[in-house]
């Protein structure tokens, strides 16, 4: 399927392009790009002073660059800003950043030539993925610069599984390196495409994670013999929240018809909070997710280039502003990281209740087939606890970090890219933690098979797990099972409720 940019993309569109969909522009979008390019051409011709067009950048914004040097300025900006370090971003993340960048240019306020956008579209269409180091951004700039390197024949990229120098990568997809014009270097490294693209990927993964969290919790709640009256619709409605209502409805549907829960009714006055408060924590995360998704879509609808050009070629307007700074985006990613870290922490606590012999009766200690000679899931709980603790550290907000850059010209930094990268790291850990709970919950149900029947909704989840891993009897390294189920949580959707 081809996704066409006419109006701004949504985060779902960006995530779809990241997963392999092709991107195209409507005639109206091409017209907007060409119109803005003509405005920049006119600025160059008339010599109107404009940041990044005929001046230096950052603290050098008052340094005038003569017309003969403006193309060199664009190239030099790309080269000097490409100073990222660390492991390379996955191909999916890079495709998302490129899609968000094209979307920004399509607003028609950047002034790049259509050729720039065509080259970026060709990267997506031909799955040519620039090598982009994951670290080194205090807000934006470095990640985008590494993508821009390939457009000018520098840097490197992976094309059909082969890593090639930039000029060879372009040749492999039938393109020549670009010679950048005035402002194009700045536009290519500018804006919030990096943080927006990464946040779109995070949203896609978080949405699936939240659905799995409900399904996995239901499997654990049933194995633990929870008191489901706490999840009644009327009871949960006493605390108005769309997220709580959705989480409660998901749990009720998944647990409907459970013989195990019917047998456990009245066994306890109330359950531990890691069981009883599932709708509240999962619901809060869903509310935060909805807010964060709205902010990412708002960012995609925004012009994030500085300066922005508008008006007409005969009456050009150059607006120097701070749209490339994205406090809301950083705060949204931080908020979702906190919410998902809490979801994962609760998952680890539920998993402990399944394995801990102090509270898991009538289940065997550590869900071991032969407690004593077998350790079962004793150390898997350690792993989940370690990952949960790491998430607690990662949940510290990036958006409140300080930092002074560019000779104090940039004396406020919102750190949206750091927040997005941190959110993705939290999701990585949360997927593993939920996978460990899923593994333990399925094992617990194996021991309860002769007690009473599972609900059809949880039985479908149990069957899906057993399609991928077998009952554990200390007969193999557990990390393989954890990895398999993490892949299920990351890439699949929970089994539908029959």
Q: Would strands 162-165 and 156-159 be described as parallel, antiparallel, or unpaired? A: antiparallel
Which among 99, 155, 88 is positioned nearest to 125, based on CA atoms? Answer: 99
- Told to judge if 140 belongs to the known catalytic residues of this protein, a careful annotator would answer no
One of 51, 140, 432, 472 is an active-site residue; which one? 51
- If one compares 100 and 321, the residue with the highest pLDDT of the two is 100
What is the mean predicted confidence (pLDDT) over 443-459? 96
Q: How many CA atoms lie within 13 A of 9 on its CB side?
A: 33
Percent of the chain with pLDDT over 70: 94
Q: First-to-last CA distance in the chain?
A: 30
Sequence-distant contacts of 267-274: CB under 8 A, at least 24 apart? 267/225, 267/227, 268/225, 268/227, 269/227, 270/227, 270/230, 271/224, 271/226, 271/227, 271/230, 272/349, 272/353, 272/359, 274/346, 274/349, 274/350, 274/353
Residue 111 has pLDDT above 70, yes or no: yes
Please indicate whether residue 478 or residue 45 has the higher confidence score (pLDDT). Answer: 478
pLDDT tens-digit series, residues 216-243? 999 999 999 999 999 999 999 999 999 9
Alpha-carbon Rg for the chain, nearest whole angstrom, is 26
pLDDT number for residue 411:
61
Asked if 343 contacts 281 with a C-beta cutoff of 8 angstroms, the reply is: yes
β-pair partners for 3: 23
pLDDT of residue 182: 86
Q: What is the pLDDT of residue 59?
A: 53
Write down the residue that tokens 């019917």 correspond to: 262
Q: Cis peptide leading into 307, omega within 30 of 0?
A: yes
Q: How far apart are CA 114 and CA 32, in angstroms?
A: 10
Assess contact for 75 and 185: CB atoms under 8 A. yes
Q: CA–CA separation, 152 vs 120, rounded Å?
A: 11
Which class in CATH covers the domain with range 2-190?
A: mainly alpha
Supply the pLDDT for residue 371. Answer: 79
pLDDT tens per residue across span 138-179: 766 799 999 999 999 999 999 999 999 999 999 999 999 999
pLDDT in the model for residue 370: 84
Q: Provide the pLDDT for residue 112.
A: 96
Compute the average pLDDT of residues 294-303. 97
Above 70 in pLDDT, residue 342? yes
Write down the domain spans for the chain: 2-190, 199-491
Model pLDDT for residues 357-395, shown as the tens digit of each residue? 999 989 999 999 887 889 999 999 999 999 999 999 999
Measured from the Cβ of residue 467, the count of other Cβ atoms closer than 10 Å reads 10
Instruction: Output helix, strand, coil percentages for the chain, rounded to the nearest 5.
Output: 60, 10, 35
Number of residues written out for the chain: 498
Q: What pLDDT shows up at residue 64?
A: 61
| pTM for the structure as a whole | 0.94
The phi and psi torsions of 21 (rounded to 5 degrees) equal -70, 155
In whole angstroms, how far apart are CA 203 and each of 15, 41, 280, 293, 423?
8, 38, 20, 7, 10
Q: Which two tokens mark 377?
A: 């899931």
Q: Which alpha helices (H) appear in 224-369, and where do they start and end?
A: 233-236, 242-255, 259-264, 273-276, 278-300, 327-355
The string of pLDDT tens digits covering residues 16-54 is 999 999 999 999 999 999 999 999 988 888 777 777 677
User: What is the assigned CATH class of domain 199-491?
Assistant: mainly alpha
pLDDT tens column, 392-442: 999 999 888 776 665 656 665 778 999 999 999 999 999 999 999 999 999
pLDDT at 91 over 60: yes
Instruction: Band the pLDDT of 67: cuts 50, 70, 90.
Output: low
**Pick from 103, 493, 157, 129: nearest CA to 304:** 103
- Mean pLDDT, the chain, integer: 93
Q: Please state the rounded mean pLDDT for residues 86-114.
A: 97
């Amino acid at each position: 399927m081809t996704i066409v940019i006419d109006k701004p993309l949504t985060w779902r569109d960006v995530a779809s392009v990241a997963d392999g969909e092709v991107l195209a522009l409507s005639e109206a979008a091409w017209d907007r790009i060409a119109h803005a390019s003509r405005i920049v051409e006119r600025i160059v011709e008339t010599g109107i002073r404009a940041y990044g067009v005929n001046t230096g950048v950052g603290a050098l914004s008052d340094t005038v660059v003569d017309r003969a040097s403006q193309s060199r300025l664009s190239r030099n900006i790309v080269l000097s800003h490409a100073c990222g370090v660390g492991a390379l971003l996955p191909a999916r993340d890079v495709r998302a950043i490129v899609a968000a960048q094209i979307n920004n240019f399509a607003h028609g306020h950047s002034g790049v030539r259509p050729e720039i956008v065509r080259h970026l579209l060709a990267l997506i269409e031909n799955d040519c993925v620039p090598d982009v180091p994951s670290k080194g951004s205090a807000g934006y700039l470095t990640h985008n610069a590494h993508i821009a390197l390939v457009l000018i024949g520098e840097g490197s990229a992976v094309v059909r599984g082969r890593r090639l120098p930039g000029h060879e990568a372009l040749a492999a997809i039938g393109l020549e390196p670009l010679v950048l014009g005035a402002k194009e270097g700045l536009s290519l490294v500018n804006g919030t495409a990096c943080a927006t693209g990464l946040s779109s990927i995070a949203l896609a993964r978080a949405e699936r994670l939240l659905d799995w969290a409900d399904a996995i919790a239901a499997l654990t709640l049933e194995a633990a013999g929870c008191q489901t009256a706490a999840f009644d619709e009327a009871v949960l409605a006493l605390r108005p929240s769309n997220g709580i209502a959705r989480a409660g409805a998901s749990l009720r549907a998944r647990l409907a018809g459970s013989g195990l829960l019917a047998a456990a009714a009245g066994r306890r006055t109330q359950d531990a909070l890691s069981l009883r408060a599932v709708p509240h924590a999962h619901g809060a995360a869903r509310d935060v997710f909805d807010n964060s998704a709205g902010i990412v879509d708002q960012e995609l609808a925004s012009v994030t280039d500085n300066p922005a050009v508008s008006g007409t070629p005969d009456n050009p307007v150059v607006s120097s502003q701070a749209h490339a700074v994205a406090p809301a985006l950083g705060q949204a990613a931080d908020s979702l990281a906190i919410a998902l870290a809490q979801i994962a922490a609760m998952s680890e606590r539920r998993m402990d209740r399944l394995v801990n012999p102090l509270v898991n009766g009538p289940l065997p200690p550590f869900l071991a087939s032969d407690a004593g000679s077998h350790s079962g899931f004793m150390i898997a709980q350690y792993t989940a606890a370690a990952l949960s603790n790491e998430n607690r550290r990662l949940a510290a907000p990036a958006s409140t970090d300080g930092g002074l850059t560019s000779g104090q010209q940039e004396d406020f930094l919102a750190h949206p890219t750091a927040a997005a990268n941190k959110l993705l790291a939290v999701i990585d850990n949360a997927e593993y933690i939920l996978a460990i709970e899923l593994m333990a919950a399925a094992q617990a149900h194996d021991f309860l098979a002769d007690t009473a029947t599972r609900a059809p909704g949880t039985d479908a989840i149990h069957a899906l797990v057993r399609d991928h891993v077998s009952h554990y009897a200390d007969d193999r390294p557990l990390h393989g099972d954890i990895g398999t189920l993490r892949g299920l949580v990351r890439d699949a959707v929970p089994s539908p409720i029959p």
